[in-house]
Every structure is written in C-alpha cells, then in structure tokens.
Amino acid sequence: MTQMLQRLTLPKPETAEPLLYARLVGESRVVPDGVVLASGAQVSFDTSFGVFAAGRWRRVSTVNQLSVEVRASGIGVVEVVAVTGAREEVVAHASLPRGEGAPTSVVLSLEPLQTSKHGTYFVRVRADGGEVCMTGGQWITGDAPAHDVRLSLSITTFNRQEYVRKTVHNVLQLESELAALTGRLRVFVVDNAQNVTFDAAPNAPLQVVPNGNLGGAGGFARGLMELRKQGWATHVLFMDDDITLEPEALVRTMALFAFARDPKLCVHGAMLSEERPWLQFEAGSEYSFRSIYPLQALGREDDLRTRELAITDAPEIPFDYTAWWYTAFPINITKDNPLPVFVRGDDVGFGLMHTGKHSITLNGVIVWHADFGLKNNPSSLYYESRNLALVDTLVFDKHHWWNLAYRFMSFGFRNLFSMRYASTEYMLKGLNAFLAGPDAWMKINHAALHDELRVCAEERPQPLSGDLLLIAPRQPRHKVLRAFGFLFALLLVGGYLIPRPLRLRRHGIGPIDARAVGVATLRNSILYRHDRIADGYVVQRDTKRFWKLLGEVAGSIVHIASSYNRLKREYRAAYPLMVSDAAWEERFSAALKR
C-alpha cells in the first residue's frame, strides 16, 4: 500500500502568487481543476511549494522507496528532474497516455532515497505536438510508516470569525476529501470570546470549547490539556486564528511525522506576508538573551518565487523556538503547559524549553499573516518587556542582571530618543510587573489587565488622511548611517539640548516598525508610517515627559540590579506551579465566572 508524502498542487485562478506553486512556460491556461497546455508549453514544479526536498526527507525520515504519480494526459511527456548542487538532470521520464476524458495517472519510480545523492527533485510536464491536460499528482512511497499519527489542530480564537471559519472549513474539507487524512485529523477550537459558530456537519471532527479570555497562552494551554485528557491525538498543531493556511501544509506535516527518524520531531510552518504573498517573514527563529532585540528570525525577506532558492538543498538550520502561528509537535514531548503570560513570549518559552531543538521547516508548510508592524503598539511592549524577562530568567543559567538591564536601558533610550513616550511607559509597566515577583504574577487578572492596557490610544497605526497621506514612506537607512545618527542623538541627548526654534519644522519620517532615533534628533515630530499601506501615526516632542521617563528608566536599572538574583530563584521555584494543570484549571474557572 502506498503512502502519500506530498501533493503536486497547481495554482488556481484565484491564487495570489502562482509562482509559489508551478511555473508555466508557453501558451497555457489555468482552469479550476488543473492546467491545460498548448503544444510546446510546459508546467514545471521547480518552485518553493512544488519541489520534493529529497535531501531533507533523506536526513529526517525513514522514507526509502520513492515514486511520483502524475495525473495528466495528451500528447506529451512527464519528467522528473534531479538537482545535485549546480547540476540538473532528467532521472525518469514517460510518455503521457493519449485519449479524451479525465487525465489518468503516470507513475515514475526513482532510485532509493536513502542512497541517493540528489538534493532536490521536481516534476516537469511538457506538451509535444498536441494539447496536454494536467490536474496534479503526488509523491508517494511504498514503505511502511514508522509511526501511527493522529493530529489534532488546537486553534485559539478571539473575535477573528472571518479568518478562523475559513481555516476550519478548509481543514474539514481536506479531512473529508483526502483518504490519507480521513479519521486521522481533528480540529479543536478554544473560543476565548465565547461567540464563534461554524457551519460544519454534525459528525465533522470539530470540537469547540468556550474559554475565558486568557490570551493565546490560556487558549493553547486549554487545548493542550483537553487533548491530553481525551487521549486520541499523538500530535498537536498550535495554530493562530488570524492566519491563512495552505492546506497542503497538513499533508506534508503528517507525512513527516509518520516517517520521522526522531520521534520527538516538531514541524514549524514558515510565515509569509499577507500583503506580499511571496515574501517570507520568518522560518524559525534564533534567540539571543544578550541582544537588545533577542528574537532573530531566519529566512526574513526571502523571495520564495526565486528558483534558485526553491531547488537548493538547504541544510537544516538549528533554531531555538517556533512561533504558534504553526507549530506541530508530539503531544508527549512535555507534561508542562504554556507559561501564563497572555500573549507575546508564550511560544518563545515553550519553544526554548521543549520544541525548538527538535523542529524543522519544510517547503510548502506555510501560513500567510498580516504584517506584524500593524500589531505592534505600546501594550505589546508591556508584554514583551515583562514576558521575555521571565523567559530569560527561567531558561538561561548565564542570564544575569546586567543582561536584563542592558536590554531594558538600550531599548528604553531608543524609545525615548525617538519620541515614543507611550512605549517607554508601557515598557516600564511591564518591567515592574516582572520585578513584582511570581506571587504577584499568579494573582494577575489577565483579561482585566489586557483591557486596561488596550486603552492606550498613542502610537497605534491607523489610516492616514490629509497631508499625512501625501508624505512618502521612508525605507530604513543603512546601518552606518543609523549608527552615526544614534551617536549624534547621544551627544545631544536626543535633541533635547537643541533649542526648539533651531529644530526642523517638518515631520521626520520613520518606518512604522523602527525607532527613528537619528531622524528625531533635529525634529519636533515624527510620522511613523507603513511602507505599503496608508497607515501610521504621529508623535510629538515632549521635553517634560522625556526627563520624567528618563529618571524612571534609570531608577529601574537600580531595581533590576538589587533584586534580580532573588527573583531568578523565586521564579524558577515557582515555575512548576505556574504551568501546572491545577493552576491553569483555577484560571479557567475564574475567567469563566467573570
């Protein structure tokens, strides 16, 4: 019996970026169920989603016998091209069956995968002398799976009905139509807003559980605990509610789990930009607790339409954690639940402690997400400053008070020098919440706190109008210029030593996800705006507020130095209780009563 590893997925007429799926050369047309090639035209799968990553499958799986089944018919040929370094060669080919009606299957067998030296395979179908119709295909193996896999998606949602309904619909449709997944795939939705409904069949593998608003951490903790109790799932997929899923990702994820060498293998889905659907935002991340910006995304700004990037056999890059827009892992990888941090950093802690070192990515395992620059605001900085301090304290033995002080001081000064006063205030609030210790943390009413934090109206992106809309965005400047601008700002204390009449009157311009320190030094206001969307906000210089906050930042450094060692001991001692079933059950019960 053959096992499906991945499908040859053709673009649809509504596909936003067809070059992620297949390359069409010559006269052709995409139809709802496939593609039709005129004589001399071809379709090839030397694309980010189309290739079979032979090297990665060889290294991480037990798959050995490998074939590809292509559904096509007409006057033409199908070929399998192997890529080894810079060399490309046809390693299998066959003529297509001629005839009218639906395309039939052509199966091409390849050499054993485990002894092959090829890095990548891709399929190419060419029309020679007549029309060819292709409707897809699949990579298959005759090997027996190494593991029995039953995957349950755990989706946490809060008032994202449009996104989550579409995702759930697509997953349930995939489960019902694809025999390889039927009975092996379920969806578990934790509804933190207690208001979502789905138009699903009564017998659909879907369960919805109402939950108090305890953020992503609370939703995923609830899902993980419930799935452990039910005992059905062997693997869990944490997935955000505001993404667009490529359904093929589930096919490949489950196949990898079934043939994984490492029984603890975890699969991370790369995130692509919703605005520019070919642009990669992150494919795993490293974490450096000594850095001002500890989260260091891998694959940032990669153009996934690039052929060279698609066909290259890239080695697995170790990364530290995986984001929860798509993180799949064995349910028994840990008995711990997520940290009670509401949002921002919940996936970081879980990844650093449990899933990151076992995680890989795979082509075609992706989601699309809206630009994160539109989600960043002062309240998010509250969570980042508080939660990442907790993560550093729990995970890294060599993390010391001066590491936390350096990050907070550096980031705080950058905010102050770029007129982001609200961001500085919320960073201070977040730090003070961490410095209050684990006993205070355990008493937090997270839903009420989040409502309080969201009241801040400053530094929130919103549609620009009037003269602001006419101001062109500015791309980030070269590192050398930014370094010079920062030095200039230090010497002039962010420009506060310059008399107001001597400053430039026009708005300075900064990217919405940056801190325009150098630009702000000679100006009284900054327009932070998105480079592709007409969203942004204006900040104004406030000398009194600056000196007040500067004093508070300095005082916080003293507080960090005097209390960090004690807090590290206390948080580590409290960790088992913080992530325990009992503590989370108490939070669930209290949140539902409010």
CB 379 within 8 A of CB 426: yes
Please calculate the CA angle 25-31-32 and round it to the nearest 5 degrees. 140
Tell me the pLDDT band of 2, cut-offs 50, 70 and 90: very high
What is the amino acid identity at position 464?
A: L
CB 423 within 8 A of CB 431: no
What are φ and ψ of residue 349, in 5° steps?
A: -60, -45
Separation between Cα atoms, residue 222 and residue 216, nearest integer Å: 10
Separation between Cα atoms, residue 446 and residue 453, nearest integer Å: 10
What residue spans of 436-594 are helical by DSSP H? 438-442, 446-453, 467-470, 479-491, 517-520, 543-578, 581-593
pLDDT for the residue 263: 96
Tell me the pLDDT band of 71, cut-offs 50, 70 and 90: very high
Tell me the pLDDT band of 520, cut-offs 50, 70 and 90: confident
444 contact partners, CB below 8 Å, separation of at least 6: 340, 433
State whether residue 434 is helix, strand or coil: helix
Domains defined for the chain, CATH in brackets: 3-141 (2.60.120.260), 151-370 (3.90.550.60), 378-545 (no CATH)
Q: Which tops the pLDDT comparison, 500 or 301? A: 301
Separation between Cα atoms, residue 514 and residue 531, nearest integer Å: 12
Q: Rounded to an integer, what is the distance from CA 197 to the centroid of its chain? A: 25
Q: What is the average per-residue pLDDT within 451-477?
A: 85
Separation between Cα atoms, residue 408 and residue 392, nearest integer Å: 13
Separation between Cα atoms, residue 326 and residue 28, nearest integer Å: 34
Structure tokens at 23: 């390359």
Q: What is the average per-residue pLDDT within 114-136?
A: 96
The secondary structure element, H or E, covering residue 109 is strand 104-109
Separation between Cα atoms, residue 236 and residue 238, nearest integer Å: 6
Of the candidates 214, 359, 335, 338, the one whose C-alpha atom is nearest the C-alpha of residue 285 is 359
Tell me the pLDDT band of 571, cut-offs 50, 70 and 90: very high
- The number of beta carbons lying within 10 Å of the beta carbon of residue 474 is 17
Q: What is the average per-residue pLDDT within 297-323?
A: 94
Task: Say how many residues make up the chain.
Answer: 594
Separation between Cα atoms, residue 484 and residue 439, nearest integer Å: 44
Tell me the pLDDT band of 547, cut-offs 50, 70 and 90: very high
CB 67 within 8 A of CB 107: yes
Separation between Cα atoms, residue 417 and residue 551, nearest integer Å: 14
Give burial (CB, 10 Å; 0-12/13-18/19+) of 244: middle
Separation between Cα atoms, residue 170 and residue 525, nearest integer Å: 46
- Examine the pLDDT at 370 and tell me if it is beyond 90: no
What is the amino acid identity at position 399?
A: H
State whether residue 111 is helix, strand or coil: coil
26 contact partners, CB below 8 Å, separation of at least 6: 37, 38, 40, 41, 42, 127
Q: Which tops the pLDDT comparison, 377 or 328? A: 328
Separation between Cα atoms, residue 499 and residue 494, nearest integer Å: 12
- Examine the pLDDT at 204 and tell me if it is beyond 90: yes
- Examine the pLDDT at 594 and tell me if it is beyond 70: no
- Examine the pLDDT at 78 and tell me if it is beyond 90: yes
CB 581 within 8 A of CB 225: yes
Mean model confidence pLDDT for the chain:
93
